[in-house]
Amino acid sequence: MYGYQLRATFEESTGGTWPLNIGQVYTTLSRLERDELVRPLAESGTGQLPYEITDSGRAELAMWFATPLSHGDRPRDELAIKLALALSTPGVDVSVVVQAQRAATIRKMQEYTRLKYSTDRPADLAWKLVVDAMVFQAEAEVRWLDHCEASLLRHSSPPMPKKTPGSAHEAENEAGREATR
């Protein structure tokens, strides 16, 4: 794949929520090449320079999908982007990505809650409100993840009867019923 194709694919799978400029794409590609995560192929007849992902690039990508984001200064959008890309990356089970994030976020909430419960001085009200802010923010993320999971369920066929081309429509109806109960 070459630069323009990459950009088009990225924008398509993230619904245009994160527009890229082409210069950014090429700088990123050359950094990736420097780190040996991608490698250039022979120039095409039309002068395009296609790249191919390397094995260590694949490993890096797998790591990214496998590692839940931590709540710090991360842009929230990275999670949305991660899910959007997980959907369009062959071999990635999106529901596993969703669950990994949900478990990590709830674990964080458990820590905040323990913190909150362990101090019971009334003077700490302000501090408690700050901890609550983090709890509620994390909760919003979990609810969004639940929502994503329900949408996924609606848009994929149920796992038990294997999807066959003829029954795709029927399967979707069934999954829809499941999700709206």
Partner 1 sequence: MTILELRAVHRVHGAGQTAVHALRGVTLTVGAGELLAVMGASGSGKSTLLNLAGGLDRPTEGDVVVNGTVLGGCSRRGLAALRRQRIGYVFQDLNLLSSLTAAENVALPLELDGMKVRTARRLAQEALCEMDLEGYGPRFPDEMSGGQQQRVAIARALVGQRRLMLADEPTGALDSQTGEAVLRLLRSKVDSGAAVVLVTHEARHAAWADRVVFLRDGLIVDTSGPMDQPEELLTTPGGAE
In the complex, which residues of this chain contact partner 1 (CB under 8 A)?
A: 62, 65-68, 90-93, 96-97, 99-100, 102-107, 109-110, 112-113, 117, 135-136, 138-139, 142-143, 146, 149-150, 153, 159, 178, 181
DSSP 46: T
Closest distance of CB 56 from partner 1, Å: 14
Q: Shortest gap between Cβ of 33 and partner 1 (angstroms)? A: 23
Measured at the alpha carbon of residue 99, what is the angle toward residues 140 and 55, in degrees to the nearest 5? 120
Q: How far apart are CA 30 and CA 18, in angstroms?
A: 20
Nearer to partner 1, 3 or 68 (CB): 68
3-state SS assignment for residue 76: coil
Which residues, in sequence order, are CB contacts of 154 under 8 Å at separation 6+? 172, 175, 176, 179
When the beta carbons of 39 and 107 are compared against partner 1, the nearer one is 107
Amino acid occupying residue 107? R
- Could you tell me if 156 and 93 are in contact, meaning their C-beta atoms sit under 8 angstroms apart? no
Which residue lies nearer to partner 1 by CB, 36 or 111?
111
Report, in Å, the least distance between residue 161 CB and partner 1. 13
We find the least distance from the C-beta atom of residue 31 to partner 1, in angstroms, to be: 23
Instruction: Compare residues 25 and 95 and give the one whose CB is closer to partner 1.
Output: 95
Query: How far apart are alpha carbons 177 and 142 in whole angstroms?
Result: 23
